[in-house]
Structures are given as C-alpha cells and as structure tokens.
Amino acid sequence: MSFAAGPKALAIPGPSPVPEAVLNAMHHAGADIYAGPVVEADLRLRERLKWLAGTRQNLATYIGNGHAGWEAATRNMLAPGDKALVITSGGFGEGWAQMARELGAVVEELPQPRDAAPDPAALAARLAQDTGHEIRAVLIAQVETTTGILADIPAMRRAMGEHPALLAVDAIASMGCEPLEMDAWGVDVIVAASQKGLMAPPGVGLVWFSDRADSRTRAAGPYWDWRPREHQPELWRHWGGTPPVHSIWALDAALALIEAEGKPALYARHAGLARAVWAAFGAWEAGNPAIRCRVADPAGRAHSVTAAFLPGSNALRAWCEDKAGVTLGVGLGLADPDTGLRLGHMGAASAHMILGVLAVMEAGLTALDIPHGPGAVEAAARVIAELA
Ligand SMILES: *Cc1c(COP(=O)(O)O)cnc(C)c1O
C-alpha cells in the first residue's frame, strides 16, 4: 500500500517548495508595466534584494535561471582572452568554469577537495604567483550543491590580500540560507536565482555587482549588459524588455516573508534544520559506516543542502516518493549514483517538514533492509528541541 496521498514534501535542493503566500501573489491576470503596482513591486524588490545581499551597490535582474545569471556575470566581468581562476569543489564550480571557457575566457581551475571546504591558503599561494596581476576574476560557489560544501567567503576574500582580481560568488544555493554580506565582506559579484532559498518559481537570475566591477565592465552585449538594468529608471530597462510580472510578484511576496523573519532568524533556522539532518545521518552512520555526510567537518557543510553517501539510494528515493510522498534529491558527481543522495533544506523548510522527511527516510531504510543505526529521528528531534 501507499501513504503518499495528501500533502507532499519536496526535499530536493532546488527548485524548492513555493509558499502559499507566494503562489497567491502571482494570481493576477496581468498589469500595466509603465505605472502602478508592478512598478512599485519591482522597486521594493530591488531594495529588499540589496538588503538581503548586504549591499548598497548594484543589482541586475534577468529573466532566466542560475545559468543565465552565470552567463550575465561572466560576460560583464570577462572579455575573451581575460584570465579567470575558478575554485572548484564540485560539479557546479566546474560548470561555471566551463561556461567561462566557452565564452572565451582563459580559465584555470583550482580544484579543491570534494569533502571539505576550499582552502584559503591554496588561493593565496596561487595568487602570489600572479605577480603581473593577469587574473581578472576569482570565481567560487558559496554552497556547492553537488557536494554540499560551504565555502568560507570572508576567508577566501582575505586570502586574496591586495590582489586586484574581482571576487565573484555563486550564491544560487545559498542566498537566503547562509549569511552573505557583499559590502562588508568585499565581494564584487554575486549570482543567485529565484527558485532556491528565495522560494519563488524558477525564472529569474540575479546578479549583484560592486562599483568596482561596474567600472571594469566588459562588452557583454546589449541584452547581457548589467549597467542599464541598474542605472536606468524604467521598469523595462531593469529586465531588458517586458518584465516577468508574475515572477516580480512572487519574489516580492517571498522577500516580504524573508524580511518579516529577519536575517538572523532566517540563517539560524537553516543552520538548525541542517544540524537536525546531520544528527540523523550520524545515528544512521553509527550502525552503517557506508551512510555518512559527504563533508566530514560540520564547519564545511552547507546549511541549505546535505549531500550524503547512502548505498541503495535509488531504491530509497523511489520508496520515499511512492510510499510517502517525499521527494529526495539525486546524488550528483558520484562514480555510482546509487551510492548517494541529496536532501534540500532551503527556503520554505520547517521543522515539521524536515523531521517528517527524516522519519520517512527511516521507514524506507527499514522497509528496504538497508543497514542503519537506530535513533535517527530522536536525534534530529533533540536538536530541534534544544535549539527551539
Ligand atoms: C542550482 C545551481 C546552479 C544552476 O542554477 P539553474 O537555475 O539550474 O541554472 C548553479 N550553481 C549552484 C551552486 C546551484 O545550486
């Protein structure tokens, strides 16, 4: 039999669940794009997005996904022939590097461990060799969604010292989940998208850029140029044409939720839910060392997504989906995809949802006879009890 009827739980690392208030905000036939509520929502949205990213500098918005944000940021930072250093901790870092390469940049990857945070000393050592300051930009993911690694962005910025390269951060899986203070931390470019921590449907790519990056803008082409999207007053300029009015309403409503919760509570909730997930994996691991978080040191783990080794993961994901209405994320970047999975806990994730997901996983492990230690749900519940 199945217990999947009723509300489902979407626990993949993006797109994340869209809250009802956000869905309802989109329920309009349309609007004038030259005056009125959508123009006001756009301006409010831009202010809130800058507040969330901790910046008083610039923001460019694009109809598109995270890849569109990557391409926009890359084209504005790097002309063909410009040199970029990409710090990679998994598939998304490699993906951004490959895109920059295809756009003509001279890309060097600085591969980092797949089970630990990137090493600031490795970045410092590489930049120290670049005495001619040929490296124009350093690219890094704050949260690498394939491996569940969290980079220490302030430490990486400090490692750059006086090197003049721009620091560009992929925050697609961390914006709204992890602290990220662009101005205080000295970050030049941030890329995000609407469908992960920002709780809106896919469809909007976001690029914050510093005045320093603005002054070094390369010829990105008329559609991708980030300058009119920030410096022109008209709504249609902000979006390079007809604005995505329903996405604006969705993001406006989502940012209202985020603002009401407040940044400290927002980040504490994500960190607490992540610790509950790790506590469950720790209990399972105690009875089966083949089940474990991919990142050993909790300090290097993302708070928005957990990537774990788990033999039999494909059967477990199918069981959770069919029997209990819980969708888990596929393992990425594994030699055998059946040995791991990813659990998203970003955006509209609550204790009731995450504890439910973990309890369903426990049921699935039991039903499928996958060896695992006892007490995972209790351990996760204890974390919530202690933090709440
Ligand atoms: C999801 C994700 C992307 C890709 O975003 P799309 O919206 O799928 O194009 C890039 N980087 C990271 C870190 C991500 O999590």
Q: What is the 170 CA–ligand 1 centroid distance (Å)?
A: 8
User: Which residue minimizes the CA distance to atom 8 of ligand 1?
Assistant: 66
Cα–Cα dist 241/229, whole Å: 10
Q: What is the 139 CA–ligand 1 centroid distance (Å)?
A: 14
Strand partners, 33: none
Query: Residue holding tokens 């951060």?
Result: 169
Q: What is the 74 CA–ligand 1 centroid distance (Å)?
A: 15
Positive or negative: CA dihedral 139, 142, 145, 146: positive
Helices 351-367 and 376-387, axial angle in degrees (round to 10): 170
Q: What is the 193 CA–ligand 1 centroid distance (Å)?
A: 8
User: Which residue minimizes the CA distance to atom 6 of ligand 1?
Assistant: 66
Q: What is the 173 CA–ligand 1 centroid distance (Å)?
A: 7
Contact criterion met (CB below 8 Å) for 333 and 147:
yes
pLDDT digit string, tens, across residues 308-365: 999 999 999 999 999 999 999 999 999 999 999 999 999 999 999 999 999 999 999 9
User: Which residue minimizes the CA distance to atom 3 of ligand 1?
Assistant: 66
Cα–Cα dist 248/61, whole Å: 10
Would you state the pLDDT for residue 269? Answer: 98
User: Which residue minimizes the CA distance to atom 5 of ligand 1?
Assistant: 66
pLDDT digit string, tens, across residues 187-200: 999 999 999 999 99
Q: What is the 65 CA–ligand 1 centroid distance (Å)?
A: 8
| Residue in 88, 89, 92 to alter for ligand 1 test, most ligand atoms within 8 A of Cβ | 92
Q: What is the pTM of this model?
A: 0.98
Q: Which atom of ligand 1 is nearest to the CA of 144?
A: 13
Q: What is the 204 CA–ligand 1 centroid distance (Å)?
A: 12
| Residue in 87, 88, 94, 145 to alter for ligand 1 test, most ligand atoms within 8 A of Cβ | 145
Q: Give the number of other CB atoms < 10 A from CB of residue 237.
A: 15
Identity of the amino acid at 251: L
Q: Which residues line ligand 1 (CB under 6 A)?
A: 14, 65-67, 92, 141, 143, 145, 170, 172-173, 193
Enter the tokens of residue 143: 């949260």
The mean of the pLDDT values for the chain is 98
| Residue in 172, 177, 199 to alter for ligand 1 test, most ligand atoms within 8 A of Cβ | 172
- Say how many residues make up the chain: 388
Q: What is the 90 CA–ligand 1 centroid distance (Å)?
A: 12
Contact criterion met (CB below 8 Å) for 3 and 323:
yes
Q: What is the 42 CA–ligand 1 centroid distance (Å)?
A: 23
Cα–Cα dist 7/26, whole Å: 21
Q: Which atom of ligand 1 is nearest to the CA of 142?
A: 13
Q: What is the 366 CA–ligand 1 centroid distance (Å)?
A: 33
pLDDT digit string, tens, across residues 154-165: 999 999 999 999
> Which has the closest alpha carbon to 111: 126, 100, 130, 101?
126
Written as tens digits, the pLDDT of the chain (388 aa) is: 999 999 999 999 999 999 999 999 999 998 999 999 999 999 999 999 999 999 999 999 999 999 999 999 999 999 999 999 999 999 999 999 999 999 999 999 999 999 999 999 999 999 999 999 999 999 999 999 999 999 999 999 999 999 999 999 999 999 999 999 999 999 999 999 999 999 999 999 999 999 999 999 999 999 999 999 999 999 999 999 999 999 999 999 999 999 999 999 999 999 999 999 999 999 999 999 999 999 999 999 999 999 999 999 999 999 999 999 999 999 999 999 999 999 999 999 999 999 999 999 999 999 999 999 999 999 999 999 999 9
